[in-house]
């Protein structure tokens, strides 16, 4: 029960007036970026990043993680009230959330969504509380070969379980790795991949990529279709809130199943978006009322919301204990950790106990703050959506430009950000996944270093990746995940030899 003692200590750090204020600020900013189309959790967190450099790391991470919770909640508000998902991970919430709100039960839909989201987040935090330090302890014994194997497994699970077309995921990952390699090589000191541009010696910051890919890219996708912000009433009936939350235990099977899916997809970096789609799909198949899904079913809201938040929260587990972020936003936060001078990974649990347990305790408190604030501010943020998109769009462009510039006061970054915007638009349009791209930019260097260090140890023999049971298991599991899509495809062909091969993935089917 060491963990509980540490957790109590963590609460003594998290529950102080300055930190509670930071949580409120973070959650409100998070809801704001969650509500606005074009701005999401990854951009929001990268925008705030430069402002945290002067803070204590624990205060900074509390601010950023609170923003993450806020953004997760904010995305659901617009999904339910406007049928416009503010975040990619809340697309699945629109399927049943909006019909229910349209039928005159917006409070029920919102309360159900927030209640199940809070449950999902709670399961994720409990998992982190009990599992993170244990994983970190195991990982303390890791050498470079084991690390490379874990990275490999993480990337392979994107390909195997991310939900997008496998080869598109592979291309996105490899592009991320190549971008990470731009600049000075940390091992040999030589300059790589600058394409003749001297300024690229400093490398390409992940913040620049995130601003373009998620900011400008999403804005371009959003501008395509005209916005019909025809809101259903955004008034909150408080008695109905408690009644809706009181009805949640009746759906405990759906809650638990979705939380399990979410935690699994969060730890193995499938990410919240894939988790919510998967959970919705499974719920539709297994629920007795499955054929009513899409018309405002309660379980159709519970399933994606619980999985979304469980995945978003548990994505921080591998980030803290292994140094591998489980989602795009976690990747940005990990970039922040490195900028603050912390080394994400198992040593955090030894050297930075205050930081780790302060953060974990703040996740309990932060989610409660987020639920309360989001319910209180629904009318305010719903009113925000009535501002015409043509007014918001240029402001978001300016925010992204300034955000990209302020990373290292470089104009080149701004131009690159705009380029990333086009790439982001094309990738979104054609269902290339963006999260693996960002992840690879953030941890590409570490993965490469791990590989080269293991090669040095083994004098160039790949045998080091099969030297002991642990590393062999990890590599084999990674290869299995890589081959999973291929096996599924072959199995489908085996069963129905005449059926045409389909490239449509679960997410695309739902969207089309």
Partner 1 sequence: MISRRALELATAVLTGGFGVAVVVQSLDNGIGWSSAGVDAGTFPLLTGTIIVLGSLYNLVRGVLPVASLANVPIAITQIELRRLAGLFVPAAIFVAAIPLAGMYVASALYVFAVLAIPRHQSVPRALVMAAATALALYVVFERMFQVSLPHGALAAALGF
Min separation Cβ 178 and partner 1, Å: 5
**CA atoms of 432 and 199, how far apart (whole Å):** 29
Residue-wise DSSP of 247-268? HGGGGHHHHHHHHHHHHHHHHT
185 binds partner 1 (CB under 8 A): yes
Between residue 26 and residue 85, which ones bind partner 1 under the rule CB under 8 A? 50-51
Min separation Cβ 500 and partner 1, Å: 6
**CA atoms of 144 and 456, how far apart (whole Å):** 10
490 binds partner 1 (CB under 8 A): no
192 binds partner 1 (CB under 8 A): yes
Between residue 446 and residue 485, which ones bind partner 1 under the rule CB under 8 A? 448, 451-452, 455-456, 460
Determine the 3-state secondary structure of 229 from DSSP. coil
Residue-wise DSSP of 5-48? HHHHHHHHHHSSHHHHHHHHHHHHHHHHHHHSTT--HHHHHHHH
Choice between 23 and 401, CB closer to partner 1: 401
Main-chain dihedrals φ then ψ at residue 184, nearest 5 degrees: -80, 130
**CA torsion sign, 8 to 10 to 13 to 17?**
negative
Which of 306, 297, 253 has the alpha carbon at shortest distance from 279? 306
Those residues with Cβ within 8 angstroms of residue 346's Cβ, 6 or more apart along the chain or in another chain: 135, 136, 137, 139, 140, 142, 321, 322
Between residue 384 and residue 443, which ones bind partner 1 under the rule CB under 8 A? 388, 390-391, 393-395, 397-398, 401-402, 405-406, 409, 411, 414-415, 418, 421-423, 425-427, 429-430, 432
Choice between 198 and 225, CB closer to partner 1: 225
195 binds partner 1 (CB under 8 A): yes
Q: Which DSSP state fits 86?
A: S
**CA torsion sign, 393 to 397 to 399 to 403?**
positive
Three-state secondary structure string covering 418-449 = HHHHHHHHHHHHCCCCCHHHHHHHHHHHHHHH
Determine the 3-state secondary structure of 227 from DSSP. coil
Min separation Cβ 40 and partner 1, Å: 17
Min separation Cβ 222 and partner 1, Å: 9
Min separation Cβ 290 and partner 1, Å: 24
What are the tokens at 193? 């991949």
Choice between 256 and 395, CB closer to partner 1: 395
Choice between 288 and 409, CB closer to partner 1: 409
Choice between 12 and 504, CB closer to partner 1: 504
220 binds partner 1 (CB under 8 A): yes
Min separation Cβ 58 and partner 1, Å: 21
Min separation Cβ 453 and partner 1, Å: 8
By CB under 8 A, which span of 117-125, 168-176, 329-337, 350-358 interacts with partner 1?
A: 168-176
Residues that bind partner 1 (CB under 8 A): 50-51, 167-168, 170-171, 174-175, 177-178, 181, 185, 187-188, 190, 192-195, 216, 219-220, 223-226, 388, 390-391, 393-395, 397-398, 401-402, 405-406, 409, 411, 414-415, 418, 421-423, 425-427, 429-430, 432, 448, 451-452, 455-456, 460, 500-504, 508, 512
């Amino acid at each position: 029960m060491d963990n509980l003692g540490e957790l109590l200590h963590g609460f003594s750090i998290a529950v102080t007036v300055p930190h509670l204020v930071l949580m409120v600020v973070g959650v409100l900013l998070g809801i704001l970026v969650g509500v606005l189309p074009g701005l999401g959790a990854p951009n929001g967190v990268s925008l705030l990043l430069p402002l945290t450099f002067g803070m204590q790391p624990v205060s900074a991470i509390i601010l950023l993680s609170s923003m993450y919770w806020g953004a997760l909640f904010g995305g659901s508000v617009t999904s339910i009230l406007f049928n416009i998902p503010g975040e990619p991970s809340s697309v699945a919430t629109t399927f049943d959330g909006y019909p229910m709100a349209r039928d005159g039960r917006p409070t029920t839909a919102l309360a159900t969504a927030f209640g199940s989201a809070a449950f999902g987040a709670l399961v994720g935090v409990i998992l982190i509380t009990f599992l993170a330090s244990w994983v970190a302890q195991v990982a303390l014994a890791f050498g470079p070969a084991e690390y490379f194997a874990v990275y490999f497994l993480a990337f392979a699970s994107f390909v195997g379980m991310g939900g997008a077309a496998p080869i598109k995921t592979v291309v996105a990952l490899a592009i991320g790795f190549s971008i990470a390699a731009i600049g000075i090589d940390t091992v040999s000191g030589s300059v790589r991949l600058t394409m003749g541009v001297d300024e690229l010696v400093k490398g390409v910051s992940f913040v620049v990529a995130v601003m373009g890919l998620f900011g400008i890219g999403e804005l371009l996708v959003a501008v395509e279709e005209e916005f019909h912000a025809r809101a259903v009433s955004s008034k909150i009936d408080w008695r109905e809130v408690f009644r809706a939350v009181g009805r949640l235990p009746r759906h405990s099977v759906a809650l638990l199943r979705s939380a399990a899916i979410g935690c699994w997809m969060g730890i193995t970096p499938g990410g919240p978006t894939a988790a919510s789609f998967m959970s919705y799909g499974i719920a539709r198949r297994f629920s007795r009322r499955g054929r009513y899904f899409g018309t405002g079913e309660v379980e159709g809201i519970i399933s994606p919301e619980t999985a979304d938040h469980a995945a978003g929260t548990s994505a921080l587990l591998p980030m803290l204990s292994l140094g591998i972020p489980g989602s795009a936003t976690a990747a940005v936060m990990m970039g922040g950790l490195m900028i603050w001078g912390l080394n994400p990974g198992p040593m955090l649990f030894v050297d930075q106990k205050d930081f780790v347990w302060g953060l974990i305790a703040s996740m309990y408190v932060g989610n409660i703050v987020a639920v309360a604030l989001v319910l209180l501010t629904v009318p305010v943020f719903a009113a925000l959506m009535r501002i015409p998109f043509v007014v918001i769009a240029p402001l978001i462009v300016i925010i992204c430009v300034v955000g990209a510039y302020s990373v290292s006061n470089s104009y080149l970054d701004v131009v690159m950000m705009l380029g990333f915007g086009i790439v982001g638009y094309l990738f979104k349009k054609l269902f290339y996944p963006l999260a693996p791209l960002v992840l690879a930019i953030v941890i590409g260097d570490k993965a490469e270093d791990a590989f080269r260090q293991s090669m040095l140890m083994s004098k160039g023999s790949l045998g080091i990746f099969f030297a002991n049971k642990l590393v062999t298991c990890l590599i084999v599991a990674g290869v299995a995940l890589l081959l999973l899509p291929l096996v599924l495809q072959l199995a489908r062909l085996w069963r129905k030899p005449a059926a045409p091969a389909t490239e449509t993935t679960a997410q695309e089917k739902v969207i089309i």
